[in-house]
Chain A
Amino acid sequence: MATPVTDYKVVVRPHCALSPRAMMLVVVCIATFSLLIGIGFSVAGAWLVLPFAGLEVLAIAYAFHYIHCHSGDFESITIEGDRLSIEKHDYKHDSRFVFNRYWAQVFLRALPCGDHSLFLRSHGREVEFGRHFMNNNQRLQLAEQLKKRVGVIT
């Protein structure tokens, strides 16, 4: 059996300006500095500073951890032969939807704010695409491209 050839693929992911290594460096620097101040005042007798410094460091570490966890998120659409698959990765949650390319429909739903959501549907199932990682212009552009490649192609 021949390996299916990918006809079309689009992957969307969030933009992260900071690499995981640099992120770790930032957190370690902040934590070291903040805890040193807390330890210094503890030695001087004001030990109640240290728990607050610790709580704050935990909050900062969690904020960066949260961002890091979601930095690998992505959504993709792959068209191979007559198969259209949509994959979503949201932290630890993966989902995959497979439609028949020629039965799938692409449609846009207007939102009260004037933007549009992009959906793909087939056989009573519909999946939203690009909600988190695409802006309105990008969704409209992608919808145009998909309409040329799925459904009844004329």
Chain B
Amino acid sequence: MSYSATAHHDEHHDHPTGIMRWFTTTNHKDIGTMYLIFSLIMFMVGGFMILAVRAELFQPGMQLMQPEFYNQLIGVHALIMIFAALMPAATGFANWMLPLQLGAPDMALPRLNNWGFWLLPPAAILLTLPFALALIGIGDGAIATGWTFYAPLSTQGGIGVDFAIFAVHILGISSVMGSINVIVTIFNMRAPGMTLMKMPIFAWGWLITAFLLIATIPVLAGAVTMLLTDRHFGTHFFSAAGGGDPILFQHLFWFFGHPEVYIVLLPVWGFMPQILQTFSRKPMYGYKAQVYSLWAIGVLSLVVWAHHFFTVGMPIPALVYFMFSTMAISLPLAVLFFCWIATIWRGSMTFETPMLFAIGWIILFGIGGLTGLVLADVAADAQYHHTYFVVAHFHYTLFAGGIMGIMAGVYYWLPKMTGHMYSETLGKWHFWLTAISFNLTFIPQFFLGLAGMPRRIPDYALQFADFNAVSTVAAFVLGLAQLIFIYNVVQCARGGKKATDRVWEGAEGLEWTLPSPPPYHSFTVQPVIK
């Protein structure tokens, strides 16, 4: 007689209760919950910052703040939204769902998982602390270079840059820890019979994300460390006067920064097909095509970085290469769009909140992708670079493609996580208010960009006033709509109608075979996949 155990390192025999449960836990569901809550808090912090920016932009001229403070809000908003809201949300889903979907009892390295999460709060404090220090006369505020840290602006900035450098280092370490855990879990902890090509696409999306993080985080870490040594130790990596090259920093940053977009989006592309198939009551279309497309996008994302700075001055062959390689990403992405639409085509669709977000996501993220193609064109980019067209484009990509995708995931899995159903009425209000106000916020910004309004400037010409006013009002509605989301999530966590194990009629996958909420130790009977 021989048992092949499900419990790889089952160290939760006597799991603590109370506050210590959250500090010391190695349980994947506890850690996943903490990631998601942290992400939601930071989403609100980053949101408040940008509402202050939009308030300033409501009218031409300077009303509410000094330009330096405006720049700080812009930079920290971006860093928080990308590193402390979007990435932790995706990691939260990975923690919650990967073991459940793979038939594993937990993540492969539970303690590493705990450390990875607890690095995040100190990093968030480091990012925002300079605002508070400036109030008591220490330093001149937070990082004011935008999230890109471009030299030589960053080599000359105040202590906010140093704080941000250390914050990015800590966030990078946390990301690498999470990536190692995901890679080891996916490769080693799959239930018997679950071959790689039987894994849910969410696992594939996260595996590629983890590889991208492993490939790019050292480059970011090296770049910001060189920045630090330029600032304080007399090196001249990025100082032209000392024989260095400021353009090198842009290459380093965007070698990380472009894949970062896919690092945020690939997990969403992983679970979105599951949502579409659930509410279409049809099998997923083109599983293999989607897996291969995700890989193609992951690989291509590593070789296209310089399209972010076409206008800096590059040899013609480099411009041509980066233009065509960037455009090539649209091919596998088109395959994904085709598969998503084919999945819902002639399906028996119903429009619960996750499906509404998923359909809205396809359309809005599609706009983000298509406007990206415009920016990939070297000639067009010469006009649109550093305008509000770019701002609108990447918000269609990161807000619609990232955050609205994450919200679809939250509505999809929340009943499974909490064991309660949320209010569908509030969910639908949240969707429609978000979708309408999001478009009203950012469509005007496309036109502002086409008309030549530069980004990162707190004042603007009178001709841009009307579109800015519309954008600001809509941004506040967008912000208020998120309060509905928070209320709905909190109410669902506190109680409500009991969720069934399967929750959704068309849901497929191992996570739906467990009770809602799943027991503290998942899979007391080891699943075997045929």
Q: Are A and B subunits of one complex?
A: yes
Q: Tell me, in angstroms, the Cα distance from A136 to B5 when the chains sit together.
A: 11
Name B235's closest neighbour in chain A (CB-CB).
A48
When the two chains form their complex, are residues A15 and B6 in contact, meaning their CB atoms are under 8 A apart?
Answer: yes
Task: Say yes or no for A143: interface residue by CB 8 A criterion.
Answer: no
Give the contacts of A13-51 with B (CB-CB under 8 A): 13-18, 22-23, 26, 30, 33-34, 37-38, 41, 44-46, 48-51
A-side interface size class:
35 or more
Chain B residue total in the interface (Cβ 8 A):
55
Task: Say yes or no for A10: interface residue by CB 8 A criterion.
Answer: yes
When the two chains form their complex, are residues A46 and B214 in contact, meaning their CB atoms are under 8 A apart?
Answer: no
Task: Say yes or no for A70: interface residue by CB 8 A criterion.
Answer: yes
When the two chains form their complex, are residues B5 and A13 in contact, meaning their CB atoms are under 8 A apart?
Answer: yes
Task: Say yes or no for B453: interface residue by CB 8 A criterion.
Answer: no
When the two chains form their complex, are residues A135 and B6 in contact, meaning their CB atoms are under 8 A apart?
Answer: yes
- Binary interface profile of A, 38-82, with partner B (CB < 8 Å = 1, else 0)? 100100111011111101100110011011001000000000000
Instruction: List A contacts of B14 (CB < 8 A).
Output: 111-113
Task: Say yes or no for B217: interface residue by CB 8 A criterion.
Answer: yes
Query: How far, in Å, is B34 (CB) from chain A's closest CB?
Result: 19
Q: Tell me, in angstroms, the Cα distance from A55 to B151 when the chains sit together.
A: 26
Name B522's closest neighbour in chain A (CB-CB).
A135
Instruction: List A contacts of B219 (CB < 8 A).
Output: 37-38, 41, 46, 49, 52
Give the contacts of B196-229 with A (CB-CB under 8 A): 211, 214-215, 217-219, 221-223, 225-226, 229
B187, B217, B226, B520, most chain A CB atoms within 10 A: B187
Query: How far, in Å, is A9 (CB) from chain B's closest CB?
Result: 7
Task: Say yes or no for A127: interface residue by CB 8 A criterion.
Answer: no
Query: How far, in Å, is A117 (CB) from chain B's closest CB?
Result: 7
Give the contacts of B1-56 with A (CB-CB under 8 A): 1-15
Supposing A12-B3, A134-B5 touch, asked if A23 and B222 sit within 8 A by C-beta, the answer is no
When the two chains form their complex, are residues A134 and B13 in contact, meaning their CB atoms are under 8 A apart?
Answer: no
When the two chains form their complex, are residues B5 and A46 in contact, meaning their CB atoms are under 8 A apart?
Answer: no
Within 8 Å by CB of A113, from B15, B176, B221, lies B15
Q: Tell me, in angstroms, the Cα distance from A26 to B186 when the chains sit together.
A: 12
When the two chains form their complex, are residues A52 and B221 in contact, meaning their CB atoms are under 8 A apart?
Answer: yes
When the two chains form their complex, are residues B4 and A10 in contact, meaning their CB atoms are under 8 A apart?
Answer: no
Name A60's closest neighbour in chain B (CB-CB).
B180
Task: Say yes or no for B523: interface residue by CB 8 A criterion.
Answer: yes
When the two chains form their complex, are residues B252 and A46 in contact, meaning their CB atoms are under 8 A apart?
Answer: yes
Instruction: List B contacts of A50 (CB < 8 A).
Output: 222
Instruction: List B contacts of A55 (CB < 8 A).
Output: 218
When the two chains form their complex, are residues B112 and A63 in contact, meaning their CB atoms are under 8 A apart?
Answer: yes
Name A8's closest neighbour in chain B (CB-CB).
B1
Q: Tell me, in angstroms, the Cα distance from A64 to B187 when the chains sit together.
A: 10
Q: Tell me, in angstroms, the Cα distance from A70 to B189 when the chains sit together.
A: 13
B192, B225, B523, most chain A CB atoms within 10 A: B225
Task: Say yes or no for A96: interface residue by CB 8 A criterion.
Answer: no
When the two chains form their complex, are residues A18 and B183 in contact, meaning their CB atoms are under 8 A apart?
Answer: no
Query: How far, in Å, is A42 (CB) from chain B's closest CB?
Result: 9
Task: Say yes or no for B510: interface residue by CB 8 A criterion.
Answer: no
Task: Say yes or no for A107: interface residue by CB 8 A criterion.
Answer: no
When the two chains form their complex, are residues A23 and B5 in contact, meaning their CB atoms are under 8 A apart?
Answer: no
Within 8 Å by CB of B5, from A14, A33, A51, A52, lies A14
Instruction: List A contacts of B5 (CB < 8 A).
Output: 12-15, 132-135, 138
Instruction: List B contacts of A49 (CB < 8 A).
Output: 218-219, 221-223, 252
Q: Tell me, in angstroms, the Cα distance from A38 to B219 when the chains sit together.
A: 7
Instruction: List B contacts of A13 (CB < 8 A).
Output: 2-5
When the two chains form their complex, are residues B215 and A33 in contact, meaning their CB atoms are under 8 A apart?
Answer: yes
Q: Tell me, in angstroms, the Cα distance from A22 to B190 when the chains sit together.
A: 14
Task: Say yes or no for B251: interface residue by CB 8 A criterion.
Answer: yes
Name B187's closest neighbour in chain A (CB-CB).
A18
Query: How far, in Å, is A51 (CB) from chain B's closest CB?
Result: 8
Give the contacts of B407-423 with A (CB-CB under 8 A): none
Task: Say yes or no for B66: interface residue by CB 8 A criterion.
Answer: no
Task: Say yes or no for B129: interface residue by CB 8 A criterion.
Answer: no
Supposing A13-B4, A132-B9, A134-B3 touch, asked if A63 and B187 sit within 8 A by C-beta, the answer is no
Task: Say yes or no for A95: interface residue by CB 8 A criterion.
Answer: no
- Binary interface profile of A, 129-146, with partner B (CB < 8 Å = 1, else 0)? 011111111100010000
Supposing A23-B188, A60-B180, A70-B9 touch, asked if A10 and B2 sit within 8 A by C-beta, the answer is yes
Q: Which 8 A-B pairs have the closest CB atoms?
A: A49-B222, A133-B5, A52-B218, A53-B218, A17-B190, A48-B222, A52-B221, A12-B3
A-B contact pairs, 12 of them (CB 8 A): A9-B1, A14-B5, A18-B188, A46-B222, A46-B248, A48-B222, A56-B214, A60-B183, A113-B521, A132-B11, A135-B526, A138-B5
Given contacts A41-B255, A70-B9, A137-B525, 13 further A-B contacts (CB under 8 A): A14-B5, A15-B6, A15-B8, A18-B187, A46-B222, A48-B237, A49-B219, A52-B217, A63-B109, A113-B13, A133-B7, A133-B10, A138-B3
Enumerate chain A interface residues (CB-CB to B < 8 A): 8-18, 22-23, 26, 30, 33-34, 37-38, 41, 44-46, 48-53, 55-56, 59-60, 63-64, 66-67, 70, 111-113, 115, 117, 130-138, 142
